Every structure is written in C-alpha cells, then in structure tokens.
Amino acid sequence: MSDLDERFRQARRTAFGIVGAQACATLLSAGGGLLLAGTAGAVSALLGGGIGTLASLVQVAGTFRKGASREPAKILGRLYRGEAFKLLITAGLFALVLTNVEVVFGAMIGGFGATLLVFWAALVAGPGDALAGGPPRPAGK
C-alpha cells in the first residue's frame, strides 16, 4: 500500500470519527433540550443535530467513498462537491423541518450548533494535514 493510500485511509477514519462525535453531541444536546424544554426541546435538539450530522455524513461518504481515486486533484473536487451537497442538504432539511414541524427553535439551533462545535474542534485539534503529507500538529497549537 502506498503512502498516499495510507493517508487517505487515515483521513477517512478521522472524517467518519468526526461524524460519530457529531452524533454523540446530538444526543447530549437532546438531553439538554429535555432538561430545559421538555420533550419538545429534546425532539427539536435531535432534529437540529440530526440535520448537521446527516449533512456531514453525506459529505464524508461522498468524499471518502471506497474505490474512489486517491489522486489529490480528484479528492479536492469531491471535497468541494461534498461541501456543496452539505450546504444544500442543510438548507433543505431546515426548510422542511421549519415548515412542517413545531419546534423549540433555540433547542433546534443548539443541537445543530453542537455538531458545528464538534467539527470546529476537530479542525483545531486535528492530526495535521493527513492527505498532503504534512506532519502532525504539536499538541496545543
């Protein structure tokens, strides 16, 4: 296995790990919604977090699908395409939920925000540039 293939696999594992962490953050925010606003708050937080997690899953699955080319230019193209789909899915699902479900808006945005927080934390604390061959970032930087 080439070094690029190994880096691709490492980046894929990391990306799916972030989606898993977003799902956990969604469940935690639903617990908070339950405590603060009852069942409606929990459901709203689940919907918001679910939107963020599903959109990330679609992006990651498209970018790092099995059998995909490991060429950096093609990876970058899939990343841009995945990000576009992520934005469309996010906007579409928010529109769908807000027009069809009575939600506790703060809890829904809190659930969605929790998934963004996980993503941003992963960017800050990530292992470095796995695909480009960059060294891991030192802890705390």
pLDDT tens digits for 9-30?
Answer: 888 899 999 999 999 999 999 9
Q: What pLDDT score does 136 carry? A: 56
pLDDT at 37 over 70: yes
87-to-26, 51, 61, 75 alpha-carbon distances in Å: 19, 11, 15, 18
Buried-exposed string 12-25: b where 16+ CB fall within 10 A, e elsewhere: beebeebbebbbeb
Whether residue 97 is predicted with pLDDT greater than 70 in this model: the reply is yes
pLDDT at 58: 95
Q: What is the pLDDT of residue 120?
A: 94
CA distance 31 to 133: 40
Per residue in 75-90, pLDDT (tens digit) is 889 889 999 999 999 9
Percent of the chain with pLDDT over 70: 88
Predicted TM-score (pTM) of the model is 0.86
Q: Per-residue pLDDT averaged across 31-53, rounded?
A: 98
The pLDDT of residue 128: 59
